[in-house]
Amino acid sequence: MTKPAELNSSTDTLINKSVHTSDGVLIGNIHYVDNGSVIVKRDIITTVSYHIPILQVREWDGHAIWLTIDDKESKKHIFQTPNRKEPAAESLTLEFEQAQYDRLHKSNFKEIHRVG
């Protein structure tokens, strides 16, 4: 197991490795490590980025980084987006007539045209 102070010596091997909170929640993958922090990103619908102070890293087990903080505490380390107090997150629900849906599904959604 690698202690936080030793993480910089193996930065290249850490990129894209998973990061888990103390309660076992996967919050994303390592994007970058510097002297004072670990940048973690999670891409689902939108990108969520965490800026975790290196002191919050408990250990590197050879497969993943484990933090000393739980999932609730990790939310305090999410990058804030400009002009918002909460991280950006959007969803979109579309309704299609069956014929339109069948056409899109058949084309693997490659031909999506905006109408209006």
The enclosing domain of 67 has a CATH number of 2.30.30.240
- Amino acid type, 108: N
Number of domains in the chain: 1
Q: How many CB atoms lie within 10 A of CB 67?
A: 26
Q: Does residue 35 fall inside a structural domain?
A: yes
- Domain encompassing residue 96: 1-110
Q: Which three-class secondary structure state does DSSP give residue 26?
A: strand
Taking the model in full, what pTM does it have?
0.60
Q: Which three-class secondary structure state does DSSP give residue 74?
A: helix
Share of the chain above pLDDT 90, in %: 23
Strand pairing report for 18-20 and 64-67: parallel
Q: Does residue 13 fall inside a structural domain?
A: yes
**Bridge partners for 42 per DSSP:** 48
**Most confident by average pLDDT, 7-21, 30-44, 72-86, 95-109:** 30-44
Predicted pLDDT at 106: 66
Q: pLDDT tens for residues 86-109?
A: 555 555 566 667 777 677 666 654
Q: Does residue 14 fall inside a structural domain?
A: yes
